[in-house]
Structure 1
């Protein structure tokens, strides 16, 4: 078993992180690959400019990523003062169920605690049931009053973790 490291993404990894994120969403059935959001997912460099872009690395391979966005960063869609937002948690399909997602989630929670924030918030597509189960196991709770639809066919479910 290779050693797994969670750390900030390096600029030379941004292309791989973007490709990994798109692949995870497309192969997971959460995008058809032609949507405008695909380009947002692919642009890891833009995320790293205003948010914390984390990666999970095993050996020489980036196998997962997550974006930690503070309120007011430009990448947080729902975070209010005292909150941060988890965005774009993605794991390569061959590593699903291996603990990569959980390790990234724990790193985001630790990052939020280091800022002494009140809460972490996130949105999850209805189809992301495996991720939602992980969030619940990690203490996140549903906030249906904050659910929203960025597109008529896409419903995003709101979750939060009080710190």
Structure 2
């Protein structure tokens, strides 16, 4: 099957897949340089704790030929997993695709699924590190725009950019 014929499946993650999703997302963040700041190493444990966030958010997986290759945490309406979402906004968090599976459409498929699930939201928001240039291109290609007034830093040395989409 050629890359053009390949179909990436997206669906809710199953509990048996949580460990794989956590590992993939942490690997993607490491590969992208997002866990290099001195105070951000603890975040790898947060990324791996998919079961911990599944109770408060939706965990969506991307599968390529039946194998989990990516995942994202989707927060449709605030709650403990929301970092920057305001009233009426959905939030996308912790998007990651296995480094060896990047470029096959899994990230795009995950983002499109989040956008689809945001039909009732007035806006969709997300935060991304300044070093995640490939992610920025994906977000912009899907219509997200920067909102610098909402940029923030969860810890010193980790500067996050805010992107928004009004569906």
Alignment TM-score, normalising by the size of structure 2:
0.91
Q: 1:17, 1:62 within 8 Å by CA — same for their partners in 2?
A: yes
1:28 corresponding residue in structure 2: 32
Matches within 5 A, 1:3-152: 3-32=7-36, 35-113=41-119, 116-152=120-156
- Please tell me whether the aligned partners of residues 78 and 90 of structure 2 are also in contact (alpha carbons under 8 angstroms): no
Asked if the contact 2:8/2:105 (under 8 Å) is kept, the reply is no
Give the paired residue count. Answer: 161
Distance 2:139 2:145 in 1: 8
Which structure has more relative contact order (CA 8 Å, sep 6+)? It is: 2
CA RMSD of aligned residues (A): 1.5
Q: Is the 1:70–1:79 Cα contact (8 Å) retained in structure 2?
A: no
Query: TM-score normalized by structure 1?
Result: 0.94
Conserved in 2, the CA contact under 8 Å of 1:68 and 1:87? yes
Task: Give distance in 2, aligned partners of 1:70 and 1:60.
Answer: 26
1:50 is paired with a residue whose SS is coil
Distance of 1:117 and 1:125 partners within structure 2: 24
- Structure 1 residue ranges without an equivalent (≥5): none
Q: Following the alignment from structure 2 to structure 1, what is the Cα–Cα distance between the partners of residues 53 and 118?
A: 17
